[in-house]
A and B are shown apart, each in its own frame.
Chain A
Amino acid sequence: MGAMSARRSPKQNRLLAALPATDLLRLLPHLERVLLPLGAVIYESGGEQAHVYFPASGIVSLLYVMKDGAAAEIAVVGNEGVVGIALFMGGQTTPSRAVVQSAGSAWRVEPAAIKAEFARGGALQRLLLRYTQALITQMTQTAVCNRHHLLEQQLCRWLLLSLDRLPSNQLVMTQQLIANMLGVRREGVTEAAGRLQADGLIDYSRGRINVLDRGRLEKRACECYAVVRLESDRLLERGATLSA
């Protein structure tokens, strides 16, 4: 396989990569590669979802949107997951908005094709269901974190979850955007990021965050990061063995 085709393989998504070859072959004609430009809204709160997306790179943020328009992030999805669970779970709408937080690309599938494959009850169904549980854990932990932890800890959790889904140690992200994601005021993010920078954990300039010391960042985060990470790894590992 050439470098180009490897870069464009559906196997860049870990759920698709965990599928047995025959299952992936069956799905292949229905996979369409699309770009995920920064800020693109994949689906709107309360709206119909036109496709499911298996990200190959980049990060999609799921935001809970209040009636007055205020929003807070409830989960992030990268190449370990899928966006648009409601489609195959049989819900019509969700109260969340999915927006691209870090540009990348994805493989998208039409509802009829994903529903048909899901209904076969094979490896894809098992993987999608397990991923759903991992996503539930992430949402749960975000709810707890929002309630109980300091903004600085939340920022560390958020940086680490984002970093896990990116190829480098750099995030392109303004403080205002981080504040929107966390549902807090920008001043709070500025203060917390300033402390992390002063302590040499991150370097922050002109909308770019470089993580300098990941180990110490993990120590400064609340337990929520580790809970989400472990649960996600465990479920996906077991999902992979089950599907083999």
Chain B
Amino acid sequence: MAAIQNSLLAALPRKSYLRLLPGLAPVELAFGEVLYEPGQSIQHVYFPTQSLVSLLTLVEGHLALEVGLVGWEGMVGFPLALGVDVSPVRALVQGGGAALRMSAARFRVELRRCPPLQRELYRYVNTMMAQISQTAGCNRFHVVEPRLARWLLMTRDRVRSGEFRMTHEFLSHMLGVRRVGVTEAASALHERKLIDYSRGAIRILDHRGLEKAACACYERVKEMHEAKRPN
């Protein structure tokens, strides 16, 4: 059997994973695809394997801010695990690629009969809360450049690649700042030879340097994600 490419699923006992498997359909998520809109009921959950999904909040109907980023370490649709079937956010595919999808109905059944899945998801929700608090705090105190650096590193960790597509307009929604602010910050990182940027493609050239340019928030949430699972 091929290696399990989503770390939530990979952390399950083999028996539990095998029982979930028939309900997991491999799908290709397209860049820019919207998986949920705020207020809509959640039809499927997604375990990204090679894709990246951004959780965005809207203010007065306009894209306002990214509050979470889900890649191979997580699951899109975690409100279902909390007993809530409506998404409070827009889930937008940020990095196109493969994911495993399960219907909401099936997920509810599997969750009920699989305590290891519950354990993994509750633990994951706890790290998402850390990510959201960090976004709230970081936005309050840090300027655009270290936040952009943090965001690029978080993206890299979740797509496991130093190259991804991204427009300035998109980044401005992610970070909740005006486009010109993003352009300035990206140019500054480019001049320091930390990233290369052309035609909507970003390449990280020096990730150690980028880590130094990022605010400390990046390390903190990363440590939480990597914390050993309690026995």
Q: Are A183 and B64 in contact (CB under 8 A)?
A: no
Which of A94, A139, A183, A235 makes the CB contact (< 8 A) with B141? A183
Q: Are A142 and B134 in contact (CB under 8 A)?
A: no
Q: Are B126 and A140 in contact (CB under 8 A)?
A: no
**Residues of chain A lying within 8 A (CB to CB) of residue B136:** 64, 72, 74, 139, 142-143, 146
B128 near A: Cβ within 8 Å? Answer: yes
CA of A83 to CA of B43 in the docked complex: distance in angstroms?
31
Q: How many residues belonging to B are interface residues under a CB distance threshold of 8 Å?
A: 41
Q: Are A143 and B135 in contact (CB under 8 A)?
A: yes
A96 near B: Cβ within 8 Å? Answer: yes
Over the window 80-97 of chain A, the binary record of Cβ atoms lying under 8 Å from chain B Cβ atoms (1 yes, 0 no) is 000001101111111110
Chain A residue nearest to B137 in the complex (CB)? A64
CA of A74 to CA of B176 in the docked complex: distance in angstroms?
17
Q: Given A133-B79, A144-B57, A223-B59, are A94 and B130 neighbors across the interface (CB < 8 Å)?
A: yes
Over the window 85-111 of chain B, the binary record of Cβ atoms lying under 8 Å from chain A Cβ atoms (1 yes, 0 no) is 000110000000000000000000000
CA of A70 to CA of B137 in the docked complex: distance in angstroms?
9
**Residues of chain A lying within 8 A (CB to CB) of residue B140:** 72, 146, 183
Q: How many A-B residue pairs have CB under 8 A?
A: 125
**Residues of chain A lying within 8 A (CB to CB) of residue B126:** 85-86, 89-91, 94
CA of A91 to CA of B133 in the docked complex: distance in angstroms?
15
| B67 to A: closest C-beta gap in Å | 5
Over the window 112-140 of chain A, the binary record of Cβ atoms lying under 8 Å from chain B Cβ atoms (1 yes, 0 no) is 00000000010000100110110111011
Q: Are A231 and B88 in contact (CB under 8 A)?
A: yes
Q: Are B133 and A64 in contact (CB under 8 A)?
A: yes
Q: Are B125 and A132 in contact (CB under 8 A)?
A: yes
CA of A51 to CA of B155 in the docked complex: distance in angstroms?
35
The B contact surface, by secondary structure, is helix
| A196 to B: closest C-beta gap in Å | 21
CA of A121 to CA of B83 in the docked complex: distance in angstroms?
12
Which interface class (under 10, 10 to 19, 20 to 34, 35 or more) fits A?
35 or more
Which of B81, B139, B141, B177 makes the CB contact (< 8 A) with A70? B141
CA of A143 to CA of B140 in the docked complex: distance in angstroms?
8
Q: Are B129 and A143 in contact (CB under 8 A)?
A: no
Q: Are A144 and B65 in contact (CB under 8 A)?
A: yes
Residues 128-150 of B contacting A (Cβ, < 8 Å): 128-130, 132-137, 139-141
Stretch from B2-10, B12-20, B157-165, B220-228 forming part of the interface with A: B220-228
Instruction: List the interface of chain B (C-beta within 8 A of A).
Output: 57, 59-60, 64-65, 67, 79, 81-84, 88-89, 112, 119, 122-123, 125-130, 132-137, 139-141, 176-177, 216-217, 220-221, 224, 227, 230
Could you name 19 residue pairs across A and B whose Cβ atoms are closer than 8 Å?
Answer: A66-B217, A67-B220, A72-B136, A72-B137, A72-B140, A89-B123, A90-B119, A90-B122, A90-B126, A126-B83, A129-B81, A132-B129, A133-B82, A139-B129, A139-B136, A144-B57, A144-B59, A146-B136, A147-B177
Beyond A66-B217, A126-B83, A143-B135, 4 extra complex contacts between A and B, CB < 8 Å: A85-B126, A139-B132, A143-B65, A144-B64
